[in-house]
Structure 1
Amino acid sequence: MKKRYLIPAIFIGLSIIAWFVFGGDAGDSVELTTTPKKGEFVVDVTTTGELRAKSSVEIRGPQGGRDVRLFNLTIQRLIPEGTVVQKGDFVAELDRSEITGRLQDAMLELQQAQSQVTQVSLDSTLTLSQARDNLINLEYALEERQIVVDQSQYESPAVQRQAEIELDKARRQLAQEKKNYVTKVKQAEAQMSEVQADLQEEQIEVDKIRSLMTEFTVNAPANGMIIYRRNHDGSKTAEGSEISAWNPVVAELPDFSVMESVTYVNEVDVQKVTRNQPVFIGLDAIPNKTLTGTVTSVANIGEQRTGSNSKVYEVIIEIAEEDTVLRPAMTTSNRIVVNRLEDAMFIPLETIHVQDSSSFVFKDSGLSVVMQEVDLGLMNENEVVVHRGLSLDDVIYLSVPEDTTGIQRVYLEEEITSN
């Protein structure tokens, strides 16, 4: 029986409490007010960034890929990021399949060049040998013609003349063939030089490829911690990634003594950011740690980043402190101080209402609410500086009062007028 009446009693009790807490008239509204504040006023730009070392040693792959028509190299194996290595330790292995094909092609070209040298050498030997035999035969023929001339002295003048003509022909033919032989020797030498040059070129190509293949095993150039290289699109180089032969960086060994925060500022706020502005830096990984820094670089050209609908500009912030807990890729919250006033009066932005190009606040004058014109100054995300129109004791409304009928306006340089 007691249980039967207990539940209704609880319900009635909760209803009475709710009536006292929330009021009996649902039509009543609560109007929020505030008063101006005085003190330091800071205009800042807040961004999210990522730590990186200001300087680092690049771990590079093969340097001569373009010389053998290799333009992209694939990383086959890569040790985990964050691994501490010593100079000479293994870092990465690059895919050799393409360069192996290049070596096979170069070896085939080398063999063909060697065959060409052998062929030209044999042809030259045979040609010159035949030319030398021909010279010997011509010398014998000349000697025979000389004997005929000697014997023709007892013959008729016509026979003697014919013998002398034949001798002269043999003499001129021998002289011509000697000149031809010299030319053939030079031609053979030129052909041999040409094919030997081709052979040497092919041999250099083979040696170059073999030397380059030894660089496909990448070792650490110094001691340090392995950090993967970040690409232009924000991704990191990893196993399976391709690196360009123009800049074959596999990974980096950062110098932790000087760190930077790389951040991106939207095109609206970048006009406020300049070099040498102070920055307060927080670390997502260590919430209670605050660092300081300075803007060292502001990009002149914007870029379209993934996840952003507008252009953003890269801003580099150098960290002032040296701390062993700082590591590359840590997320930072950066508050870039654009402007600062040591002693200013300021109010929330939601108290400002613009009418006819003038700024007003709704102020409690004691007996009624008036629209007070104000002279504004610097503005940040939440508040705005007031130069004239208010005092620290004034009470202003955070929203438009419910009833603005007949409300008065107070201008900075005019008397109170009524709507």
Structure 2
Amino acid sequence: MKTINYIRSAREGSIVLGLSAVTASLLLSVPALAANWYGVVKEDRVVTVTATGSVESKSEHNIGVPPSDSWRLRLDWLVEEGTRVNKGQRIFSIESSSQQRDLDELQGRLQVMESQVEAQKEKNLQDIESEKLSRANLESESIKATRKANVPAGTIPGIEYKKLIEQERLANTLYQRALTRQSMSERSRELQKAALDREIKRVEGNLEQRKKEMASFTVRAPINGLAIIGTNWEGQKLESGSRVGPGWPVVTVVDDKNILVRGTVHEQWAAKLAVGQRAIVETDALVGSKLMGTVASVGNTVRRKSQRSPTMVLDFTVEFDEDYSHVLDLNMNVHVTIEVDTLVDAIAVPKDALVYREGRPGVITKQAWTPVELGSSASEGYFIVLDGLEVGQKVKLL
């Protein structure tokens, strides 16, 4: 009896479990069945545009080789790729031995000319004193000759008187020549001094230029950020010892703490895009995360996507509502969904409901496959239906 009771109990238990399993299966199948059909309704739909983009810095500075008279320069020191640098920190320096030689030569020439100036001053003082003494003597002789000749003509015999007159004329002539020579000497000294001053200023200018050039050969970061090393003519990364020329880009300092998204949309959406529209940024590296932002800029005209692609696109940028620099890396590829419009009382179906036949879009209703006319707009995960469906109908989800 115990055995029979045990078996019965077991059978009764199995029946209960079986009924429970069926019930559970039915209960689970109802929502599953309901989930396979979508009820058509009218509601406001946000129209979105999807695009691709990449994370970039809002601020970056390209720093090249400073101006120089030399076209073949050499990097003496270069910061390592990816180093985080602070504003004012040295990022590279140019080898300056030839500039130092020029600097030493100019300083030597300047010292020589300054010595010449001092020597010329001393000589000028001596010449001035000598000329002053000579003029004083000639002036004295002129006065004496004039005084001797200033007597009545009959007082002194004719021949002697004529001699006095000639001596007066000669003394006055020599004195006047001395005065003229004084003016010419002063002018000559002024010209010599001016020429030497001009030469000194020219050398001083060259010297100052060389000093500035040498100072500019130590280049420092203009902002805080990451140092990205440039490449040479062959596309290889620069390094210490690399040959470069004036203006050649050596380091780009990128502010990776101040980021945005730069992307493109197909030209068909160009007229829809506008500054201030809301945007959702997603990336494969952060599955399920939606980073909110706003369209910050829109290009003026469409352009070719690339030289090899005929596709026309419009550029745009998105700025984030919050700081996401701790989760987003520079150059990371992202997906962008932009809310470009809102349709009032629109009918839309999920993208999983569309079935194409002979190139025409349609949906499967309770009756059969029904063709529909789709609008040019789409809402996130849904397609707007202009004609072919009515409110209350159900369409199958595939």
TM-score by length of 1: 0.61
Deviations 1:349-392 (A, max 9, x none): 846989xxxxx9799997x999x8x7764533997533445335
Shift in Å, 1:133: 4.2
Distance in 1 of aligned mates of 2:192 and 2:175: 26
Deviations 1:169-201 (A, max 9, x none): 122222222222332332233223222322322
**Identical aligned residues as a percent:** 17
Kindly indicate whether structure 1 or structure 2 has the higher relative contact order, using CA contacts under 8 Å at least 6 residues apart.
2
Does the aligned pair in 2 maintain the 1:124–1:188 contact within 8 Å? Answer: no
RMSD: 4.9
Deviations 1:17-53 (A, max 9, x none): xxxxxxxxxxxxxxxxx99854675533222212234
Amino acid at match of 1:339: D
Higher mean displacement: 204-213 or 144-153: 144-153
Change (3 A) 1:369 1:212: closer
**Is 2:201 aligned against 1:200?**
no
* Residue of structure 1 equivalent to 2:81: 80
Shift in Å, 1:207: 2.5
Deviations 1:222-260 (A, max 9, x none): 5xx6253899xxx9997579798599863134335xx42
* Residue of structure 1 equivalent to 2:283: 283
**Is 2:310 aligned against 1:309?**
yes
Distance in 2 of aligned mates of 1:137 and 1:71: 59
Amino acid at match of 2:206: E
* Residue of structure 2 equivalent to 1:254: 256
* Residue of structure 2 equivalent to 1:266: 266
Distance in 1 of aligned mates of 2:92 and 2:320: 35
Amino acid at match of 1:200: E
Mapping of residues 16-415 of structure 1, within 5 Å: 37-38=40-41, 41-54=45-58, 65-66=66-67, 68=68, 77-81=78-82, 83-84=83-84, 92-94=91-93, 96-97=94-95, 100-105=97-102, 107-109=104-106, 111-112=108-109, 115=112, 133=130, 136-137=133-134, 139-141=136-138, 143-144=140-141, 154=156, 156=158, 157-213=161-217, 215-216=218-219, 218=220, 226=226, 228=228, 239=239, 250-255=252-257, 259-304=259-304, 306=306, 308-323=309-324, 324-341=326-343, 343-346=345-348, 348=354, 350=356, 377-380=375-378, 384-391=383-390, 393=393
Shift in Å, 1:168: 1.9
| Structure 2 stretches lacking a partner, 5+ long | 1-36
Q: Look up the SS of the partner of 2:327 in the other structure.
A: coil
Q: Look up the SS of the partner of 1:272 in the other structure.
A: coil
Q: Look up the SS of the partner of 2:268 in the other structure.
A: coil
Distance in 1 of aligned mates of 2:281 and 2:105: 61
Does the aligned pair in 1 maintain the 2:280–2:338 contact within 8 Å? Answer: yes
Does the aligned pair in 2 maintain the 1:71–1:245 contact within 8 Å? Answer: no
* Residue of structure 1 equivalent to 2:28: none
Does the aligned pair in 1 maintain the 2:63–2:252 contact within 8 Å? Answer: yes
| Structure 1 stretches lacking a partner, 5+ long | 1-33, 355-359, 399-419
Q: Look up the SS of the partner of 1:268 in the other structure.
A: helix
The number of residue pairs the alignment matches comes to 339
TM-score by length of 2: 0.63
Change (3 A) 1:313 1:115: farther
